[in-house]
Amino acid sequence: MEHTLAKFGCFFGFLSIFLYYISPLYGSWWFSLGLLGRGLNMLFGGTRLNAFGAVYTDEYNHQILGPIGIIAGFSTLIGSLLLLVGIMRTNKILGIVGGIFIIMGPILFLAALFSPMADPDELKYFMERGILFGGRSTSSAIGDEYYYAMFIWGLGPGFYIALTAGILGTIGAVIISDEENF
């Protein structure tokens, strides 16, 4: 059970990056979801950003958060690698640096959301209403037809997984015994 916290931090760091490519719903760092309906008929859609601030689907590939978003994703990835090497070599300093790099990923991602380099067309609606969390809903009846719409957005599970990874990794690295390093 040696280095358990650091191992969890490392695992969650990699998971926060790669889960998006397995399940964009659970691996997104930021998301927006919309539901539009008439009677019992519904349309559902949304946007999910990965750790690099981009949207990737079969039909669509677009970098929304600019270079800061890319740096955020690589910070988390490099931090996870440094933490892994720190665990394998029982190197406290390398592990702490890795944990700090992982924590920097979500911080840089937040900075990218508010950056003027982010694609204003993609984020304009959310910037006007508060980009971190929000929701809107409306409904109306026209004649015998009932129409409704719901829209929610916020930081996604991948963002929180990365933040947890950085905290666990840093704490785990601090308690690594570095007696072998001297």
pLDDT digits 0-9 by tens, 48-89: 899 998 887 666 778 888 899 999 999 999 999 999 999 998
| 181: phi then psi, degrees, rounded to nearest 5 | -80, -10
Distance CA 156, CA 142 (A): 35
**Quick one: average pLDDT of 106-131?**
74
pLDDT, residue 58, reads: 63
**Quick one: average pLDDT of 14-23?**
94
- Whether residue 141 has pLDDT greater than 60: yes
Give the number of other CB atoms < 10 A from CB of residue 99: 30
pLDDT, residue 86, reads: 92
**Do residues 71 and 115 touch, judged by C-beta distance below 8 A?**
no
**Do residues 23 and 29 touch, judged by C-beta distance below 8 A?**
no
Query: Which is more confident, 70 or 130?
Result: 70
Only one residue has tokens 């072998």, namely 180
pLDDT, residue 108, reads: 95
The two three-digit tokens of residue 166, written as one number: 């950085």
Domains of the chain: 4-181 (1.20.140)
43-47, 72-76, 158-162, 171-175: lowest mean pLDDT where? 43-47
DSSP letter, residue 179: G
Only one residue has tokens 């997104």, namely 28
